[in-house]
Amino acid sequence: MREQYPEIEPYRTQRLSVDDIHNLYIEECGNPDGLPVVFLHGGPGAGISAYHRRFFDPKRYRIVLFDQRGAGKSTPNAELRNNTTWHLVADIEAIRQHLGIEQWVVFGGSWGSTLALAYAQTHPERTMALVLRGIFLGRPDELRWFNEMSGGASWIFPERWAHYLAHIPSEERDNLIEAYWRRLDSEDEAVRLAAAQAWGYWEGGSTTLLHDPNEPGNFEDPQLSLNLARAEAHYFRHGVFLEPDQLLRGVERIRHIPATIVQGRYDIICPMRSAYDLAQAWPEADFHVVLAGHSAADPAIVDALVNATDALADRLD
């Protein structure tokens, strides 16, 4: 099994103002003359982490990472004005132009896979290749699966679901995303934080194949949990600003682009059906189903992703 490349530090960090509100944090790692790749983080609202740099050979790749609007080190923190899928697609293109990159590899997992597909379908001429993990197409059934009473994820992790559900009174449970949003958008900071932590406990603890129902999850930090929950609820209540099946219909625009799809068979957050549907629409893509959950840190997913980026460097560099 392949492991991630060793830890590295950015050789350059900078900020880019993309409108009157938002200022993006950008970092570059690896080889300044290497094969350009942009890393698109999950969430929305989660931000980048140091381990995200490590899916790429630093001797062969120019690795570009950035915090999306309102996330991580981008400012204003947790800002949702002018924050939609299409604002983020425009930001990716603005970063490419700012850095003077002609074409690049686009790498994204979970929400990052959604954004990668939306960007590539909008700018196919700028997309050299795609590496996608934990596929999320933003369809209504996917949103219901993990966040609503009519979904199925509650049957897999009932202990965590009980905690998520208990935060909302029974009379509001017909639309849990909206019920959470009302609390996440409250003027009362304590109400906002309590809702964010309940949201983060449900999602953050449901990512890995080896699951401990008593672990607190990945979003214990109050500010991170608030950023993530507010951004996700904002996007989810708007159908992630996509028409149903829009990204599947748009595959025709990118079928000529080399692509690898990596999917954990037991991914509960972004279940297998979405990756399967994407692969059916895109038979030219390399489709790898591995023994893993949702987390990019699951060993089988790390192995598949590092192999994919190495193979792309062999092919494109």
* Count of CB atoms situated within 10 Å of the CB of 193: 18
Cβ burial 253-276 (10 Å sphere, 16+ → b, else e): ebeebbbbbbbbebbbbbbeebbe
Residue 108 corresponds to which tokens in the numbers above? 């994204």
Q: Which of 143, 121, 141 is nearest to 130 (CA)?
A: 121
Q: Is-cis flag, bond preceding 44, omega within 30?
A: yes
Distance CA 18, CA 239 (A): 24
Please, is 144 exposed, middle or buried when counting C-beta atoms within 10 Å of its C-beta (0-12, 13-18, 19+)?
A: middle
Give yes or no for a contact between 134 and 110, defined as CB atoms under 8 angstroms apart.
yes
Residue 20 corresponds to which tokens in the numbers above? 């009157």
Amino acid at 115: L
In total, the chain counts a number of residues equal to 317
Helix (H, G, I), strand (E, B) or coil at 26: strand
Residue 13 corresponds to which tokens in the numbers above? 């960090």
CA-CA distances (angstroms) from residue 230 to 45, 63, 71, 83, 200?
A: 8, 28, 11, 12, 10
Please, is 73 exposed, middle or buried when counting C-beta atoms within 10 Å of its C-beta (0-12, 13-18, 19+)?
A: middle
**Which residues carry out catalysis?**
110, 267, 294
Give yes or no for a contact between 316 and 128, defined as CB atoms under 8 angstroms apart.
yes
